[in-house]
Structure 1
């Protein structure tokens, strides 16, 4: 039995990749940690639109963080080591925890760089300006 989706219309040709991306996004669960912002920055150095993802990663060192692009997904992972073996806590409200945050990237998005400053990890992305292409299709005459 075939599955009917919004992309099953005969007028939407070649959108099966978008459907797969939407499935991947809907399956990604997140507990809201770490919190993040996404902002639009002014264009720079010949790039089109520039986006910045900023995650609040207080307590993580640069060595604890990993930023990779895998199959058009930006994956940000954090893993803190538990170096508190010699310490005795009367109250422990700051836990060493792990996280993974994933963002699906559109075709052509470039990663400009990442920076960790004051407990905030910022990752800059650029979306190139799309080329406007108009192409005339010749109609062949057949008799």
Structure 2
């Protein structure tokens, strides 16, 4: 039983998942600090108010703190923008630069079942797995 447990713990995907969780938590802390300590003060310098938590209204002695909700929405949008511009865009550019093979420039045809573009030589659609049979070669245009 202990041997099975040890094998379970040392499985590659479990270790990879644990590493991803730890790295994700650390990255989340870095992004949160960036937003809190740099981006939000910049917004406050431009807009004048960095914190909306004091905004509220009362109806029939019930307090609605919509400022906290505004803070949460603003924080989400800022974090999403920071992740997109400082992580997603640079990683996509790096992956594009590291691409070793040129894209294949081949003639395509439409799958009759799902209307996706597939190579002429394909006999089965890669998207919907429908058998499409062989097609005549494309006519060369002059």
Does the TM-score normalized on the shorter chain lie above 0.5? no
- Structure number with bigger Rg: 2
Greater per-residue strand proportion: 1
Bigger relative contact order, structure 1 or 2, given CA contacts below 8 A and separation 6+?
1
Greater per-residue helix proportion: 2
Q: TM-score, normalised by structure 1?
A: 0.25
